Amino acid sequence: MAKIQMKTPLVEMDGDEMTRIIWKMIKDILICPYVDLKSEYYDLGLQHRNETNDQVTFDSAYATKKYGVAVKCATITPNAARMTEYDLKEMWKSPNGTIRAILDGTVFRTPIIVKGITPYIPTWTKPITIARHAYGDVYKNTEMQVPADAKCELVCTDKDGNETRSLIHQFGESGGIIQGMHNVNASIESFARSCFNFALDTHQDIWFASKDTISKKYDHRFKDIFQEIYDAEYKEKFEAAGIEYFYTLIDDAVARVIRSEGGYIWACKNYDGDVMSDMVATAYGSLAMMTSVLVSPDGVYEYEAAHGTVQRHYYKHLKGEKTSTNSVATLFAWTGALRKRGELDELPELVHFADCLEKATIQTIEEGVMTGDLALLSTLPNKKKVDTETFLVEIDQRLKNLLA
């Protein structure tokens, strides 16, 4: 069978540890035999980031801006232990943070659902995608402990030096705590546009919630910006697509999410997204089945797995032991990126290949062949735990049938 030809290169960001091993296996076993892979390769492995003074991370993000689609392997964010382990010149910043800052994007996390692994909320038969606004609020705050009898105010000095003051609290004999936080209209607008674009792209409703009844200026501003952008730029497109934008109070949203069957995008303010994404991921079963895509407001996409480099498995691998590491989220990062490339370049055969590869993966697990993490969770009667490579070979057998 002739290999599928690509038009525009995919930006390929290689990474670290066990996921780097899986990365190569996925390409060798499942992609390169079928696709004449055109990629612009950036090695974001920690050693190469260190050699290039992290320039490679910046270059990979600029290439993503240029070509529009990237696929990224999990990477180490260095800490003190990694400084010694890799003999680093500096404690380089998180690559994901650097890339996100350059692309100004929003991260969407979606669970992959398979038969045999029932979510803790059994009504969730479709995925819930969480979009987290990743700028500002409590993550860029200023806070103080306040002594007794202190008077605390918010002071805003405009560019001409005029001051506006507002009392936070006149403390009494008990001191206390205060906190100042901010957000920026432009960032909220980008967030809203990324969310609306992704809803159109994936043909799903989008929910957004905040505490606007209590926070009449701060949270209300989020609600207003979403509504203004929706009305001006997206209302007609949503109606034509038959999807809905739905705003409600955060308390009501949480209750509705639990009662729902899934199948929508839940846009969250920064803190809500931080907390709720952990809850939703856990409820669906496994972090190794969670995909993640960074979408910029101007329509640039970077696909990856939500999990890290699976360090513990890598050390086993280095000792020559067989591992049973789950490659599904990394594999779906590849299929997501290939499908998007196929859509943009009008290559239906590439879209079809991505669809078949996902189908083959799910089929493999639903026929009882899976990695150890899933074998622990699955309720299928005849399940078989396989090692990292065998799992990919099993997928390939089913992929061949689907493509035939």
CB under 6 A: which stretch of 110-118, 150-158, 310-318, 341-349 binds ligand NAP? 310-318
Q: Which is nearer to Mg ion, 274 or 298 (CB)?
A: 274
Element (H, E) at 97: helix 95-103
What are the tokens at 211?
Answer: 């505490």
Binding partner of residue 274 among ligand NAP, Mg ion, none, CB cut-off 5 to 8 Å per kind: Mg ion
Could you give the CA distance from residue 103 to residue 36 in angstroms, rounded to a whole number?
28
Q: How many helices (H) and strands (E) does the chain have?
A: 15, 18
Could you give the CA distance from residue 216 to residue 59 in angstroms, rounded to a whole number?
42
Instruction: Return the amino acid letter for 363.
Output: Q
CB 87 within 8 A of CB 95: no
Q: If binding means CB under 5 A, how many residues of this protein chain bind Mg ion?
A: 2
Binding partner of residue 96 among ligand NAP, Mg ion, none, CB cut-off 5 to 8 Å per kind: ligand NAP
In the list 31, 63, 70, 76, the residue contacting ligand NAP (rule: CB under 6 A) is 76
Could you give the CA distance from residue 223 to residue 139 in angstroms, rounded to a whole number?
20
Query: Minimum CB separation from ligand NAP for residue 82, in Å?
Result: 7
| Count of C-beta atoms within a 10 Å radius of residue 287 | 19
Residue carrying structure tokens 């405009």: 158
Query: Minimum CB separation from ligand NAP for residue 362, in Å?
Result: 16
Could you give the CA distance from residue 378 to residue 366 in angstroms, rounded to a whole number?
9
Burial 306-332 (b: 16+ CB within 10 A, else e): bbbbbeebbebbeeeeebbbbbbbbbb
CB under 6 A: which stretch of 33-41, 143-151, 250-258, 307-315 binds ligand NAP? 307-315
Going by C-alpha positions, the residue among 115, 113, 106, 107 that lies closest to residue 128 is 113
What are the tokens at 306?
Answer: 């939500």
CB under 6 A: which stretch of 75-83, 116-124, 138-146, 277-285 binds ligand NAP? 75-83
Binding partner of residue 326 among ligand NAP, Mg ion, none, CB cut-off 5 to 8 Å per kind: ligand NAP
In the list 9, 136, 176, 308, the residue contacting ligand NAP (rule: CB under 6 A) is 308
282 binds ligand NAP, rule: CB under 6 A: no
CB under 6 A: which stretch of 68-76, 215-223, 237-245, 295-303 binds ligand NAP? 68-76
Contact letters for Mg ion, residues 270-289 (x by CB under 5 A)? ----x---x-----------
Binding partner of residue 278 among ligand NAP, Mg ion, none, CB cut-off 5 to 8 Å per kind: Mg ion
Going by C-alpha positions, the residue among 67, 340, 7 that lies closest to residue 202 is 340
Q: Which is nearer to ligand NAP, 58 or 218 (CB)?
A: 58
Burial 94-111 (b: 16+ CB within 10 A, else e): ebbebbbebbbbbbbbbb
Contact letters for ligand NAP, residues 334-373 (x by CB under 6 A)? ---------------------------------------x
326 binds ligand NAP, rule: CB under 6 A: yes
**HSE toward the beta carbon, residue 20, CA cutoff 13 A:** 18
Query: Minimum CB separation from ligand NAP for residue 102, in Å?
Result: 16
The residue number whose beta carbon is nearest to ligand NAP equals 308
Give me the residues that bind Mg ion (CB under 5 A), please.
274, 278
Give me the residues that bind ligand NAP (CB under 6 A), please.
74-77, 96, 287-288, 304, 307-312, 325-326, 373
